[in-house]
Amino acid sequence: MKDPWGNLKIGASATTQIKRKDFGLNWNAALETGGVLVGDDISITLGIQFVKKV
């Protein structure tokens, strides 16, 4: 689509989840309540936009 200044734009978004232990990130700290400080699943969200100036 074109913006009000005539620049052509395109956008995309993507999401994924990874397990941090798959990348060797094993550090964690136990909390007094019995849980752990850092979860195993990491969410990654990308929002990108490209602009072609005319």
Asked if residue 3 belongs to a domain, the reply is no
Residue 21 backbone class (left: φ over 0; alpha: ψ -120 to 50; beta: rest): alpha
| Percent of the chain topping pLDDT 90 | 46
- Provide the domain limits for residue 13: 8-52
Q: What pLDDT does residue 54 have?
A: 67
Asked if residue 23 belongs to a domain, the reply is yes
Q: What pLDDT does residue 44 have?
A: 96
Nearest to 46 by CA among 3, 8, 9, 17: 17
Asked if residue 41 belongs to a domain, the reply is yes
Asked if residue 2 belongs to a domain, the reply is no
Asked if residue 32 belongs to a domain, the reply is yes
The stretches in the chain having pLDDT less than 70 are 54
Looking at the 3D structure of the chain, how many domains does it have? Answer: 1
